Copies of this chain bind each other. A is one copy, B any other.
Amino acid sequence: MIKNTTGRKAMANKMIDVAIMGHGVVGSGAAKIMLTHKKKLFSAIGEEIHIKKILDLREFPDSPIADRFTKDFNDILNDVEIRVVAEVMGGLHPAYEFVKSLLLAGKSVVTSNKELVAAKGAELLQIAKANNVNFLFEASVGGGIPIVRPMSQCLVANNVKEITGILNGTTNFVLTKMFKDGMSFDEALKLAQELGFAERNPEADVEGHDACRKICILASLAFGKHIYPDNIHTEGITHITEEDVKYAEEMGCVIKFVGDAKVIEPGKMNIFVAPMILRNDSMLANVNYEFNAIMVRGDCTDDVMFYGKGAGSLPTASAVVADIVDCCKHLKARKFIFWADSNNETVFPYNESKAVFYVRLTEIGDIAAAKAELGEKFGGYEIIGEASDEMGVKLPELSVDEVEEKLSSLTASKPVNKIRISDL
């Protein structure tokens, strides 16, 4: 008996107690990795990570660590031995209240919850700083792709000029199928749902809310000011048609759904989420199916790109576990991931931002008249392709407001879709 007790105590000295809140796709993956990769994690930290509690309202009687489950958040909050907590429940509430309480109680928190970081990042980072603990969120953008840590550490000697990301696997799968297999948007979405790449209610993906949260997190990180999603122009991909696909192909391009944040004057960024036409030979154009990629343009590095699976249980969970490891290695020291709160004064007004657009014009009766009117309104424009009663054109660079005003004044043709053309 005495021997056992001593043995346990000796071991306890070499262990760091952690907790996981949520045992869904990501949470169960994180628990699995911590159990199966014990040796590798030990050699990285020098101490063993011990999952002491898992919070979930459901029952998991068949789990090898079924005895560690609790339904009461206070079992984690009030356990002084638990130093690091992973929040992988998702959603804003009660994740926000839980994370805030944990940070205030002096525990480090890691999260995969992009909604939480995009809405409350500045506040939670400030609380973490004040309590000398860490708040990390590598898994909140790009799933298993290393991006938050590389941006905050490896690219620290760069002023970031632009970030462009394919940040949502569902929509990238849909667009890839539209281009490679000639599917319609609806067909491709249905297939994505059947294969498990899209949810039953795909709104957050196809309308761009998910991508918007992610570009806001990346922009906040790069520019040091919190960017709130509500203030960002966000267009989905539901209006992309097979005709748009054909015109893009005519241009030697593809359409990708990107989040973009670009410094356009000191202290001002143009940020948006929208489908974008990219040249076939650009690296982002070759990111297909459920993969994600993020291009970061630094003033020293030039273009650097990070590519991989942006979702899924083990990829995302491995990023969560990497953050837990980092917290365990920095129990006494804070990591310098930080951004200040802001009232979005850094966001350039979208309607005033300049862009080059492709436009599809239909209901053309008299093609000569339609072209003459276009020339009169827009000056130089390029024809991408034309059929009997429609055409695709590339407009000159103008502000969004100017483009919309001029398009709405056309009488000899009817604009049905416009898509930004990338200069990347």
Contact = CB atoms under 8 A, between A and B. Distances in A.
A286 B288 CA distance: 13
A177 to B, nearest CB: 15
Contact of A329 (B308, B309, B336): B336
B154 A44 contact: no
A306 interface: yes
Interface of A: 29, 33-34, 37, 40-41, 43-46, 138, 144-146, 149-150, 153-159, 224, 281, 283, 286-288, 298-309, 312, 314-315, 317-319, 321-322, 325-326, 329, 333, 336
17 contacts: A29-B300, A37-B158, A37-B159, A40-B159, A144-B298, A144-B304, A146-B150, A146-B155, A150-B150, A153-B326, A154-B322, A157-B317, A157-B322, A304-B308, A305-B306, A305-B308, A306-B307
A219 to B, nearest CB: 16
B317 A300 contact: yes
Nearest to A313: B300
Contacts of A318: 155, 157-158, 298, 300-301
Contacts of A46: 336
Contacts of A299: 314
A401 B387 CA distance: 60
Contacts of A317: 157, 300
Contacts of A303: 307-309
A155 B322 CA distance: 7
Given A146-B146, A146-B155, A156-B41, A315 B301 contact: yes
A299 B298 CA distance: 30
Contacts of A158: 37, 318
A45 B145 CA distance: 25
Given A156-B325, A283-B286, 10 more contacts: A29-B300, A44-B336, A146-B154, A153-B325, A156-B322, A157-B325, A283-B307, A298-B318, A305-B305, A306-B307
A329 B335 CA distance: 9
Contacts of A321: 156-157
Contacts of A325: 153, 156-157
Given A300-B315, A302-B309, A302-B315, A153 B149 contact: yes
A302 B316 CA distance: 11
Contact of A307 (B138, B159, B304): B304
